């Protein structure tokens, strides 16, 4: 079985932001949350959320792609192997990958953790930990500071990111909660401008 999607001339989100560096990244993150919320409401876990798997349509909208590791929530936990990309992988998955023990299944919480890492990627233009080794357990990227290389993440979005990558999976925000918080933060921030 194959999945076919329309050609997206802008490519993935990383390429798009290289072509259009002044794009409002917060809008892209909000669109990503809308898509992730939809997937989770349909009972679908993506399993490999990262910049390379987020396409930008010709209408400049976020499309989540590459469902190679995806699964429905009602599948058995061993139906999806812990593969993927270390830099975006939730600690519970990363620990299992390192120890090669019983496989921890992907969950909504592991997608949310990957969303937080992907958001830092959107703002910095590079993987969350741009060095050759996977991150150390419990390590998180620093806040992008608008230093000319990365774009500044506002306080409200940074708080959302931090609540999405907490160590304990049950304490992470849902896609819906993260989306609602970002909408409220964005509306309040824009009304002040």
Please identify every residue annotated as catalytic.
Answer: 48
> What 8-state DSSP symbol labels residue 171?
G
Quickly list DSSP for 112-146. HHHHHHHHHHHHHSS-SS-SSSPPPTT--PPPP--
Q: Rounded CA gap, 121 and 53, in Å?
A: 12
Distance CA 96, CA 100 (A): 5
Task: Give, to the nearest 10 degrees, the angle between helix 25-41 and helix 108-124.
Answer: 170
CB atoms < 10 A from the CB of 42, how many?
9
**DSSP letters spanning 62-114:** EEE---TT-EETTS-GGGS-S-S-GGG--HHHHHHHHHT-SPPPP-HHHHHHH
């Amino acid at each position: 079985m194959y999945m076919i999607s329309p050609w997206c001339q802008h490519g993935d989100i990383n390429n798009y932001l290289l072509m259009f560096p002044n794009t409002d990244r917060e809008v892209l993150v909000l669109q990503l949350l809308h898509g992730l919320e939809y997937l989770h409401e349909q009972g679908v876990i993506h399993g490999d959320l990262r910049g390379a798997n987020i396409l930008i349509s010709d209408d400049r909208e976020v499309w989540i792609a590459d469902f190679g590791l995806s699964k429905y929530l009602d599948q058995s936990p061993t139906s999806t192997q812990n593969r993927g990309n270390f830099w975006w992988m939730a600690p519970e998955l990363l620990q299992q990958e390192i120890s090669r023990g019983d496989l921890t299944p992907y969950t909504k919480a592991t997608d949310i953790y990957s969303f937080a890492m992907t958001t830092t990627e959107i703002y910095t233009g590079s993987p969350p930990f741009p060095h050759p080794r996977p991150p150390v357990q419990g390590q998180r990227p620093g806040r992008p500071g608008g230093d000319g290389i990365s774009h500044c993440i506002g306080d409200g979005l940074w708080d959302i990111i931090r609540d999405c990558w907490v160590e304990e999976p049950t304490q992470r925000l849902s896609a819906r909660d993260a989306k609602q918080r970002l909408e409220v933060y964005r509306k309040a921030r824009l009304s002040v401008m």
